Amino acid sequence: MTPLRLISFGYLHLPRDAEGRPIPPAADRVEDVRDRLKDPAAARDILDLDGLHPRVQEIVINTPGARELIDNLIDYALLPASPKVIALGCAGGKHRAAGLVEITARLIRARGREVEIEHLHAHLPRVLRPVAS
């Protein structure tokens, strides 16, 4: 079975189409968590951390709705059709999306599927508005 690729990204860092809409990474499923999960960056002690850090992952997984989303992503990843790419996006790609990718990858690997991770924007500074193209 082909490894599943999980991508985290930030909508505020994406290139825009002619109408100004962000263009997310190509994927079998793109999940926008901006409105689904509260931004954990409200916890001031994690502003300089990213979703690869255990403290950020702890906050993300305990955010209302996160466990249900993760369970749904795992079920999707393990479908017989075996999707190849799932992309998760939040505002900046630093906290929610990156943390969800790390947590979900661990749980999918525990179920026997190989997973590759790509964080497009987790290393970038926190942003509050779109980056000029």
- Classify residue 125: in a domain, yes or no: no
Q: Is the pLDDT of residue 132 over 60?
A: no
- Classify residue 124: in a domain, yes or no: no
**pTM of model > 0.85:** yes
Tell me what the mean pLDDT of segment 32-56 comes to: 87
pLDDT at residue 131, rounded to an integer: 57
Domain with 97, as residue range(s), is 4-119
- Classify residue 127: in a domain, yes or no: no
pLDDT tens for 72-120 read: 999 999 999 989 999 999 999 999 999 999 999 999 999 999 999 999 9
Q: Which of these, 115, 121, 119, 122, lies nearest to 5 by C-alpha position? A: 115
- Classify residue 29: in a domain, yes or no: yes
d(CA 35, CA 23) in angstroms, rounded, equals 18
Q: Is the pLDDT of residue 133 over 60?
A: no
Query: Helix crossing, 96-110 with 54-61: angle to 10°?
Result: 90
C-alpha distances in angstroms, 16 versus 6, 13, 70, 128?
A: 22, 9, 28, 16
Paired strand residues for 30: 87
- Classify residue 72: in a domain, yes or no: yes
Q: Which of these, 25, 44, 46, lies nearest to 89 by C-alpha position? A: 25
Q: Is the pLDDT of residue 42 over 90?
A: no
Q: How many domains, in total, are found in the chain? A: 1
- Classify residue 98: in a domain, yes or no: yes
Percent of the chain surpassing pLDDT 90 = 80
Reading the block at residue 11, the tokens are 């909508």
C-alpha distances in angstroms, 102 versus 15, 21, 60?
A: 24, 27, 11
- Classify residue 31: in a domain, yes or no: yes
Q: Which of these, 69, 71, 73, 72, lies nearest to 85 by C-alpha position? A: 73
pLDDT at residue 19, rounded to an integer: 96
- Classify residue 53: in a domain, yes or no: yes
pLDDT at residue 129, rounded to an integer: 63
Mean pLDDT over the full length of the chain = 92
* 76 alpha carbon, distance to own chain's centre: 15
Tell me what the mean pLDDT of segment 21-33 comes to: 97
